[in-house]
Amino acid sequence: MLYVISKLNRMNKMNNSNRRTFVKNLGYGLGALTLAPSLAAFSACIPGAGERKLGIALVGLGGYSTGQLAPALQQTNNCYLAGIVTGTPSKAESWSEKYKIPKESIYNYENFDTIKDNKNIDIVYVVLPVSMHKDFTIRAAKAGKHVICEKPMALNAADCLDMIAACKKAGVMLSIGYRLHFEPHNQEVMRLGQQQEYGKILSIDSGNGFTWGRSSDSWRLKKALSGGGALMDMGIYAIQAARYTTGMEPLFVTARETKTNADLFKEVDDTITWELEFPGKIMAKGKSSYSSNISFLDVKAERGKFGLGPAYGYSGIAGYNASGPMDHPQINQQAGQMDDFVSCIMTGKKTRVPGEEGWKDMKVIDAIYRSIASGKKERIG
């Protein structure tokens, strides 16, 4: 695992002075944040030496599980890959061989509910098409398992509330896969904006997208499975960025949609631009696209500018402030995200990215789609 994460368990053995020096030298230097606690707060909820690792089962073995989550689970300190859920027998066989997963911890979508009897699985990570998030989150909660659900949380804000209620009723923790809350450059943007290091924020401009080069048969292009196109898939990062930079919730939105390829994007959106109005008349422009390669966050404040670019990738994120480039380490975001969730389960500390965080984003997305349909400014919520 990267240096930052591999040191965390040993931090409990350091005295307070050494711990402060360690954190400072890593370059985090983050104060208390509304949406993203500092590394010091993160390290404080790491389980003590001798605590057993918690087992995570990945539900859905697509590209994100294969390329990001499973490798990250080989680098985590507090959890490990304990099970899988897949509808493809060949994947079950290859994953079992590669990751030494026992047969009794391999499930399909039909027998998933029997996971309740598996004592080696503590957490279910839902990595499925968006239309399946609600069902499997609720089923996992009923099975008594803590849940991480990938973003976007659900097809709409109402479904998010059902998921939150089910997890609360079952007494399990629910977290959303917002990996960037554990990424140092994005954490620094949160600190700069929320603590008003350069004075009041005047405006925000953010965008995220890529040029579609995948199969035209992808589930992401089918509205029934994805709920939407680039906005749900990529734009949610730009919405998150505006929210966690200000530390506030937007009140209104105006949006419009354009399409570069009506045949390819016949069911879902291609490019959407929007403008969010936050309290204090702070305006945040945003863009999502399947037709352009963009990844940026630019913030203008009273006494300077700061931002990110590239802003939202799995690695290679860079940032700037009024003094010049940011100097923060690159970390395995997914490993940090999952380790932190386990730490919070073990200590009873609330996750920084609970279900409510996913619900707030979906309220914005619902309002953006309403604004496109009406051609007017829409209230969020």
Q: At 30, is the pLDDT very low, low, confident or very high (cuts 50, 70, 90)?
A: very low
Question: Encoding tokens for residue 289?
Answer: 């696209």
Question: Encoding tokens for residue 75?
Answer: 């680098």
Does residue 241 have a pLDDT over 80? yes
Does residue 36 have a pLDDT over 50? no
Query: b vs e for 300-319, b when ≥16 Cβ sit within 10 Å of the residue's Cβ?
Result: ebeeeebbbbbbbebeebeb
Average pLDDT over residues 274-286: 98
- Asked if residues 250 and 244 have their Cβ atoms less than 8 Å apart, the reply is no
Does residue 5 have a pLDDT over 60? no
Residue 226, phi then psi, degrees to nearest 5: -100, -25
**Rounded-to-integer distance, Cα 309 and Cα 295, Å:** 6
pLDDT of amino acid 164: 99
Average pLDDT over residues 166-180: 98
Percentage of the chain beyond pLDDT 70 is 87
Does residue 100 have a pLDDT over 60? yes
pLDDT of amino acid 52: 86
Distances in whole angstroms, Cα of residue 273 to Cα of each of 195, 230, 256, 286, 312: 28, 11, 6, 6, 18
Question: Encoding tokens for residue 208?
Answer: 């995220």
Residue type, 281: K
- Residues labelled catalytic: 151, 237
Q: At 12, is the pLDDT very low, low, confident or very high (cuts 50, 70, 90)?
A: very low
CB atoms within 10 A of CB 152: 25
pLDDT of amino acid 328: 98
- Asked if residues 188 and 165 have their Cβ atoms less than 8 Å apart, the reply is no
Distances in whole angstroms, Cα of residue 170 to Cα of each of 140, 150, 173, 220, 337: 10, 20, 9, 31, 23
pLDDT of amino acid 40: 33
Tell me: the pLDDT tens digits for 290-324?
999 999 999 999 999 999 999 999 999 999 999 99
The closest of 316, 320, 275 to 300, measured between CA atoms, is 320
Tell me: the pLDDT tens digits for 323-336?
999 999 999 999 99
- Asked if residues 193 and 245 have their Cβ atoms less than 8 Å apart, the reply is yes
> Mean of the per-residue pLDDT values for the chain?
90
Question: Encoding tokens for residue 88?
Answer: 């493809």
**Rounded-to-integer distance, Cα 285 and Cα 287, Å:** 7
Does residue 31 have a pLDDT over 50? no
Partnered with residue 85 across adjacent β-strands are 59, 107
Q: What is the pTM of this model?
A: 0.88
pLDDT of amino acid 360: 98
pLDDT of amino acid 10: 37
pLDDT of amino acid 121: 98
- Asked if residues 56 and 82 have their Cβ atoms less than 8 Å apart, the reply is yes
Average pLDDT over residues 105-131: 98
